[in-house]
A = this chain, B = another copy of it.
Amino acid sequence: MTTPKETCPAQALLKQLSGKWKPEIFRLAVNGPLRFSRLLREIEGANKQTLSVALRELEEIGLLEKVIVRQKPLHIEYHLTPYGASVVPIFKQLERLG
C-alpha cells in the first residue's frame, strides 16, 4: 500500500495506552507489582477478559513484564519495565491537564 502518508507517530502509542483500564493499571503499577486477582478486586467494574487482554497488550509492547513467582503461594506478578516507567510522566501530565 506504498505508505502513502505515514500515520502520526504518536497515534500508535496513544492508542495502545488508551484502552479501558490501562491508565488505571498503570497507576497501580507504579506502586509495585500487580497481581491479576487483586486488580480484579480493586478496580471496580473491571472484568476478567478486558483486564486480561489489557495486561497482555501492555506486556506485548514492553511496558509490563510478567513474572512467575515460584514461591510459597505460586503466583504471577506484572512489573513495570524501564520503558513502562518512561511513559509514567505522560500519565502525570494528562492528570495535571485533565
CB atoms of B86 and A90 under 8 A apart? no
Size band of the interface chain A makes with B: 20 to 34
CB atoms of B10 and A14 under 8 A apart? no
A73 on the interface (CB 8 Å rule)?
no
10 contacts across the A-B interface (CB closer than 8 A)? A8-B23, A8-B27, A9-B98, A10-B98, A11-B23, A11-B24, A13-B97, A18-B18, A87-B97, A89-B93
Interface residues of A (CB under 8 A from B): 4-5, 7-15, 17-18, 23-24, 26-27, 42-45, 83, 86-87, 89-91, 93-95, 97-98
CA distance A4 to B4 in the complex (A): 48
Min CB distance A81 to B, Å, is 12
